[in-house]
Amino acid sequence: MKNVLCALLILCLAALSLTAAEYRGAETVRVLDGDTLGTDLFAGCRTVDIEGFVNGDVYAGCERITVRGEVVQDVLAGCESLEIRGKVGDMVIFFGSDLLVDGEIGGDVLAFGGKVRITERSVIKGNLIVGVGDLLLEGGRVEGYVRGGAGYARLNGAVGQYLEMQAGHVRFGSNYSAPGGSKLTLPKELDPEKSGPLPDNLEIKIEKRRLFFQSLVFYWWLIALLITGLLLAALFKNFSRDYLAFAGKDFGKHLGVGFLALVAVPVGILILLLLVVTIPVGLILLALYLILLYLSLIFTALFAGDYLWKLFQKESPGTSLVWPVVLGVILVVLVPKIPFLGWLVSLAVICFGLGSFITYIWNLRRSNGTPAV
């Protein structure tokens, strides 16, 4: 078992070395004002502060990221809070709780999580695509279009093209404009007293949401995860318990490592596929990567179920893992169904499972420890 897992891990991590980059892991990572980082920045830590100049991309998995300086290319962040107060030359992809844009972004913004706030001083030169709980367009300008979904949307800024959104509640401000039109999909008609001044080119569609448990795919996915989880716990019981003891030690670190692996490994796979002669290696790595993503759901379910089961039942360590697996799988399948926040929960589930699994296997390899199966 250990040798197979190590092989999966090594193949995935090998992709990280294919491009020149700066890898930093510490409590805080800073690029100070006046400093220049000439390569991409990969950071897995608690805090990232960029006050200087990064001549490349930023890939970060942490609690808080602040960009007061300039990032020439993209920012890909999985974190609790991301603040863009300086300049990002191209795209921003965000998964987390709070995104604040109070500066300039040269490309698209893709944001999935709790809240996105666009201030009156901000400029987004591309498109804005969201899947969030709250969208606060307080001013500023989005030069492209705005699309996606939000539980609550406050629209009081300029949209260069059009807006097309699904939302629970919407309120317009006097400074809102979208020359290409505004299309909203809502669960009910707008309340004139709560919706603010409506734009002239507004189109509203009333659509009741289909509940997730009305789909056969939901039950197929639930049963598939249950069977896989129960088989894993039964065949590798001691391995699973050893992993559980390790996974709860550093939750934040596991999330950061998982996010970096999630975004960095596909880059390596793409490079291998583009080189033509390494297409077979790229395809093998892609298959292993997809397997790891699936296993990440199982391991997160195992961890969450075991934690809650012990919390309420206070069972001894020798107790069967059957009920923790069942409880954990149900949580992993149901919690991401939270309206508008499903992207964030799903990302956290995958990142934690992927990061804790990779870190655990890496530590096993370094210590030459082999859990019994």
Residue 83's alpha-carbon distances to 39, 79, 193, 264, in angstroms, are 21, 11, 33, 22
Range 278-286 contact pairs with CB under 8 angstroms and sequence separation of 24 or more: 284/11, 285/11, 285/12, 285/14, 285/15
pTM of this structure: 0.65
CA distance 101 to 141: 11
Sheet holding 53-54, edge to edge: 36-37, 53-54, 70-71, 87-88, 104-105, 123-124, 141-142, 158-159
Structure tokens at 270: 């793409």
| Residue 248, Ramachandran bin (φ over 0: left; ψ between -120 and 50: alpha; else beta) | alpha
User: Can you tell me which residue has the tokens 């609690």?
Assistant: 63
For the chain, residues with pLDDT lower than 50 are 1-20, 316-317, 372-373
What per-residue confidence (pLDDT) applies to 126? 96
Q: Is the sign of the CA dihedral 226, 229, 235, 241 positive or negative?
A: negative
8 Å CB contact between 132 and 152 = no
Residue 260 belongs to what H/E stretch?
helix 251-274
Of 239, 318, 360, 346, the residue nearest 310 (C-alpha): 318
Q: What is the largest CA-CA distance in the chain?
A: 68
What per-residue confidence (pLDDT) applies to 322? 87
CA distance 348 to 340: 14
Residue 46's alpha-carbon distances to 42, 79, 257, in angstroms, are 13, 9, 12
What per-residue confidence (pLDDT) applies to 125? 96
8 Å CB contact between 31 and 52 = yes
Side chain identity at residue 240, one-letter code: S
8 Å CB contact between 165 and 146 = yes
8 Å CB contact between 35 and 17 = no
What per-residue confidence (pLDDT) applies to 8? 42
Number of Cβ within a 10 Å radius of residue 48: 27
User: Can you tell me which residue has the tokens 């197929």?
Assistant: 220
